[in-house]
Structure 1
């Protein structure tokens, strides 16, 4: 486990917020989308690491709105590169060399300052190239727009960040349950994917994002422990389980629990060497959230019935 330290909400806004302005025309057109990639990791999950924030802004657009999103951006001075093939996915260190090809994505430029990529999502359908035009892609990242609890928004206020005469805007991004459910879909569905296949690259992308989000979203003192059983998991992890889809719940628990006693004993000395739990307070991250609760920051609804959340 490698912790780069959490960013504060203010730091995340300063380092990522202003670069999300391409969503403004999407907001005005009532297009369903969420931020993705390195900007989402920082803005929504406070993952502090400059190497993950790149000039390319990744946005996931709902299936029904994909073509309209392209038209909307084109009408706002964004140049659509129909002949450019998207390579690599943002947010994962392993993709810095742009591994994998993703024809499902539409790529844009705006005055040459940055690139905007929009993965298209159509659940359970395969990509079929269209003659003479763009065919919307497969369910590339398996993000669900059907569950309102998987999406929240953050207000970007340029004036508060030192830029005057610019109106504020909202940027939609996944909640903690929303991004974990999407990555679990990819990890589960492509667990046995072939070497150097698009599915393998998607699983690698999901593995990385899952690890970074888990390590940086859950309280430090809880995430660096080992757990033998589901019952031992902290309440926050169980609350998230209650919001994850039924088909992913068991897979979620398998990622967080060491159910094999032999493995548990093998790893424990490493944990004892690297992590001194006594040095961490139970409230060591409250200042990071600047007055909001953990549940508010990450979009988690506390489960009223713990047993039901685990089913």
Structure 2
């Protein structure tokens, strides 16, 4: 006896409903699995002076670019970032011109643009990477100002004096005075530097410094007096002034350790050579 058509249709409908219910359960199961799935961790490798390092980071929160840019920021916070076009010989001093300042400005603008593009990891309750990026930007600006003032002291003493910290102006003033006062200022600075070296135990410095002073004075007294007062005394004073605004290496190192802890948690493994 044949099964009525209406029964077949009913059975078919029942099967279809069951299939839909089963499929829905599978989808819900997958969604639950995704919700409970741990964050996607990716490996990152990098080298330091003596070590090869590897660790894992949460790729859903932090990018490789964030990590690389963070390391670059910390590296640049402990190094010189701009070329210095200051002269070291009378010949180099005579070759200085406004193009030297132009090259320095170009270097500064290019580096500033590069640093501005560096990315940072998301801000934490106890750590803000953008602070260190801003600190680096300020350091680079200070370095540019220092190098620019160093060049201006040779090219336009008046402008350099206007822009310089008052505490450093004493080393430039003799350049606008008589040759005798210029030589006296150079000699005074030479003796001051000798005393500073002797205070830190460099007892053999005095003889070498005086021999160099006499040799340079005999060769080109005016040029070497300018190099001594501007290239060393003036520059050292500016360095001391601007370095007060910088983070010291220990502060940078501690900040980098916090950065690595946030990014890599406790996953860092290192293989190091003995120094």
Higher RCO, Cα 8 Å, sep 6+: 2
Same fold by TM (over 0.5)? no
- How would you bin the TM-score normalised by the shorter chain? under 0.3
Q: Scaled by the length of structure 1, what TM-score is found?
A: 0.20
Please give the TM-score of this superposition, normalised by the length of structure 2.
0.22
